[in-house]
Every structure is written in structure tokens, then in C-alpha cells.
Amino acid sequence: MLGLRSFLVFNQLQRGWRFGNGFNGCRFFRKPSPRYKHWTDYYGTRCPMKILARQAIKQLSIIVQKDPSLEMYEKPLRKVVIQRYLECMAVRTTRVEASSLQIGENEASEEVYIHEIEPYILNESGIAVEIDHKTGFISFSNTTKMRVLEAFDGLAERVDFHPPALRRKIDIRPEHLLRAHDRSSIIHRLQHTCEETAEARRQSAKEREEAERENARLERIQNEEKKKEAVRLAQEARGLAEYQEHINQNRRKVVLRRLKEKYKGFDAPPALTLRASTDFVQELTTLLTAHLKKTTQQKTADVTKMNHFERACRELEIPKRKAIELEELEQHKAERAAARENFLIQHRKEFEKRQLDNQILKKFIKEAAVFAEQTQMKGKTSKRDEQQMLLQQERERLQGL
């Protein structure tokens, strides 16, 4: 209850300070009382308006929860809090975020703002505002006027009040007229400067507006171009997908033809090429696996049959093979015996020949020893002879150069 009471008291104090004394024609605001100024400074600096409003909404919800019979007053009091919050913010600033008006809500809801808060601001609050839905800000129309009046109010407080002049003859001198002329010239120049500044501001605002319109037009053109580009890219992607699908179908046909050529008897429906890549691979794998399984089983049966046939043939050939093996064994034994006999005869002949040669060579053993000794003596050269021979070769080489 303290938050709600503080918020309402603060707004009443602000309303009494700003508007309670009133103004007539072009007269300025009169100086507020020290009591109002003290309360306004305290709540305006130490207690932000949004915190006070949130505390007021929280206290209001607590009161309604304690006494459900007061639920009918909850919505009007919420509107009062929003009204006071807007009045205070209109005095303090030129604009405020629209999402900040959803005071006391856990999550900002766009539907609550559109259906409850915005209609109340435009139709019931009585505050002149401008709502920019693009940026989400609310601008106060009378804020500038209030600030100008506050500036004039502060200026009036600092101006010294002079007592009325006495009725006497005024001594007007040329320097007085010159000062008055200079002062009027300065005022005229200031007026002209203000008019030029105002005109420049209007021209700048007009140029900004034209620039914004031009930017909006360019943005619309860019958006249209982006949409056209997106449509074109989508068409290209669709055409590329169709072309890729056509290529994939041709590849699937080639795969089926090669499989039929490689695996005799394998058959697949032509409609299989129209399936997606994953389905095509799965179904083709299933069909090929079934065909290979069937072929393998058939080959296994044929191999088993041939094994039985070969085993039967071997059982019939076993007696004949045994007779042939015995005959070949006897023949091999006879051949080995004849070969051994021939080897012994040949070995005997070679042994007798070597014995005869040894008897003949024994007659020439002494002569062979003498001949070997003579040959060894002839072939041996001394170191001196080797040096003489090398020296002679070097001389011949130098003479040749």
C-alpha cells in the first residue's frame, strides 16, 4: 500500500507544482512552494517513476488477492497508474518506449498493449501523443512547450525587479539613442537569426522527410528485387533439381543394365528407376541380395551333386587304381635296380681310369717339381727392378708430352 500511496502523492504534488498555479495569457508560471519542490526532488531523483508505478501495481494486486470483492476496481486503478505515469513522463522526457507502459507484467505482451493500453492512451488519457509503431516509441506533443515554459520560469526567477521610474524630465542624449539603436539592431539580428534558424530547421526536417521517403522507396525497390531474386533462385533450384533427377534416373538405368549383364537371370522392374535415391538403393539391394542368395543356393546344390558323383566315380576307380599303382611300383623298382647297376658299372670304369692316370703321372713327378721351381724363379722380380721399370715408364710418359 505504501508504493501505491507514494506514487499517487508524488503525482498530485507534481500536478500542483506544474499546473496548480496556472497561467493567464502569456504570463509565466509562478514559483512553486518549497514543500512541493522538496517532495518532487525527493521522488524524482531517489525513486524512479517506473519503480514507483511497479510497486503501486504490485500493492494493488496484493490488495485484490486479499479481498476479492475489490477486483472490480483493479482495472480502473491500473488505468489511473498508467495515466499518472504518462503525465509524469510527459513532463520529464519527449518520448518513452511503448513496452515500458506494461507495468507489473512479467512478460511484455503485444496483444495487451494493442487491445488495452493503446486505446486507453488515444481515447481516454487526454494526453497528446504520437505513436511510432515502427520504432515502438511514444512521443509527447506538449513536452517542448512545457520545457520552454520552464525555461521562462527559471529566467523570470533570475530577473531583478526594478521599481517604477520617477516622473521627471528624461535627459535623452545622442549616446543613449546610439545604445538604443545598437540594442534594437542586435534584437533585429537575433530575430533574423532565429527566423533563419527556424527556416533551416524546417528545411532540414523537410529534407530529412524527403530522404526518409526516398530511403523507404529504395528499400521497397530493394525488397521487390530481393523477392524477384528469391523467385528466380527458387525456379533455378527447381529446374536444377529436375535436371539432377533426370540424370539420376539415367544413372539408375545404367546401373540396372550393368547388373543384368553381370548377373545372369537378375531382373528388376523398370519403375524402380523412378524412385528416390535412398529407396532405389534399398530396393535394388534387396532384389540383388535375393538373387545372389538364390544363385548361391543353386550353385551349392550343383556342387554337392557333383561331389557325390565324383565320389561315386572314385569308388568305382579304386580297384583299378590299386592295380595300376602296383604295376607302376614294380616297374619303378626294376628301373631303380637297373639304374643302380649302371651307376656302379660307370663308377667302376671311372675309378679304373683314374688309377691308370695316376700310374702314368708318377713317372713325371720329379720333372714337374724342377719345372715348377724354375718357373717360380723366373717370375719373381726384385724391388730394384720394379723401381727401374717405374722410372723408365715415367720417362717415356714425359717424353711423350
Q: Can you give the residue ranges of every domain in the chain?
A: 2-158
Which residues share a beta bridge with 137? 97, 132
Give the pTM. 0.29
Q: Which helix or strand (DSSP H or E) is residue 129 part of?
A: strand 129-132
Q: What is the pLDDT of residue 24?
A: 33
| Position 43 pLDDT exceeds 80 | no
User: Which is more confidently placed, 167 or 258?
Assistant: 258
Give whichever of 130-139, 140-149, 302-311, 381-390 has the largest mean pLDDT: 302-311
Residue with cell 717360380: 376
Residue with cell 513536452: 143
The rounded distance, in Å, linking the Cα atoms of 178 and 168 is: 22
Mean pLDDT of 271-280: 80
| Position 122 pLDDT exceeds 60 | yes
| Position 21 pLDDT exceeds 50 | no
| Position 88 pLDDT exceeds 90 | no
Q: What is the pLDDT of residue 218?
A: 93
Q: What is the pLDDT of residue 22?
A: 35
Q: What is the pLDDT of residue 230?
A: 92
- Model confidence band, residue 63 (pLDDT cutoffs 50, 70, 90): confident
Q: What is the pLDDT of residue 44?
A: 47
Q: What is the pLDDT of residue 223?
A: 92
Residue with cell 524402380: 272
Mean pLDDT of 303-315: 87
With a pLDDT cut of 90, the percent of the chain lying above it is 9
Q: Residue 3: count other Cβ atoms within 10 Å of its Cβ.
A: 19
| Position 288 pLDDT exceeds 80 | yes
Number of Cα atoms under 13 Å in the Cβ half of residue 125: 23
Contact 39, 10 (CB under 8 A): yes
| Position 233 pLDDT exceeds 90 | yes
User: Which is more confidently placed, 136 or 224?
Assistant: 224
27 phi-psi bin (left φ>0, alpha ψ -120 to 50, beta other)? beta
